[in-house]
Amino acid sequence: MQNYLEFDFKISPLQPWSDILMAELIEIGFDSFTEEINGILGYIQKDLFTEDELKSLPLFQNEEVKIEYTFTEMPNINWNEEWEKNFEPINIDDKVLIRAEFHESVPGMHEIIIQPKMSFGTGHHPTTHLMIQQMMDIDFKDKKVLDMGCGTSVLAIYAKQIGAGETKAIDIDEWSVENSKENAVRNNVELDIELGTADNLGKENYDVILANINRNILISDIPTYVSVLNNGGKLLLSGLCFFDVDDILEVCRENNIELKKQIQREEWVSLLLEK
């Protein structure tokens, strides 16, 4: 089990800087957050953290916002129990419900059942919400799908539920891989789940690639995604703030993939592109 650090960030003024800080923290390895009255709590694996990297984030150099923080090492606790205390069902447009087994079912809604653990992608984060919204308008029937940075694999599970064929899910985090395997069983879907990165991708090609990660990894990996995407295939991206879009689209243009749809929720954006 990984030891985590809990950071208590005090932010003044709170808006719009709290969302921007979370976006920057994700880029250096923070994987979960709790919003507070005057800031946020952020969590990162102890072995991934360096204070120099934190202090070099752009927001810490911005004179328009003041950020102070303290941090403590978290004890080895039962993360499943902690998540269950705070996990609430997620309703996406009254069409899709992401819930845990201990929540009641809602008649008439498409349901994805996950056991929340210490992995990203429960659906609470706006980027996961945006990805599901985009996926609602895509025909997944018999499509070969790749879910990069899969977290709980909620996106891969949803793709399979709405008709996808062979579906692969990849994440760099062992917690996510373990949780993804459990969630696939819970939802009676078959996924090919791997520990790794875009370096895992070989000669297999895909019809749809889902990547809800962060700006830096996307910029680095988009050329690889495009190389394994079939002609006419769709690349669905999120993990982006609105100010990341221009940089992402520049990389997409360089790799001959065209923007088809852009949606936004709070400060976060999802892009649907086609090869």
Specify binding-site residues for S-adenosyl-L-methionine: 128, 149, 171, 212
Listed in order, strand segments (DSSP E) in 62-130 are: 66-73, 90-92, 96-99, 110-113
Interatomic CA distance for residues 259 and 240, integer angstroms = 15
CB atoms under 10 Å from CB of 272, counted, come to: 20
* Dihedral of alpha carbons 111, 239, 269, 234, sign: negative
- Report yes or no: 26 and 239 within 8 Å, Cβ to Cβ: yes
Give the chain's count of helices (H) and strands (E): 8, 14
Instruction: Kindly give, in sequence order, each residue whose CB lies less than 8 Å from that of residue 238, ignoring residues fewer than 6 positions away.
Output: 127, 128, 130, 131, 211, 212, 268, 269, 270, 271
Q: Give alpha helix (H) positions in 153-270.
A: 154-161, 174-186, 215-227, 245-254
Burial 47-64 (b: 16+ CB within 10 A, else e): eebeeeebeebeeeeeee
CB atoms under 10 Å from CB of 66, counted, come to: 12
Interatomic CA distance for residues 200 and 202, integer angstroms = 6
- Report yes or no: 251 and 225 within 8 Å, Cβ to Cβ: no
Q: Which residues are annotated as a binding site?
A: 128, 149, 171, 212
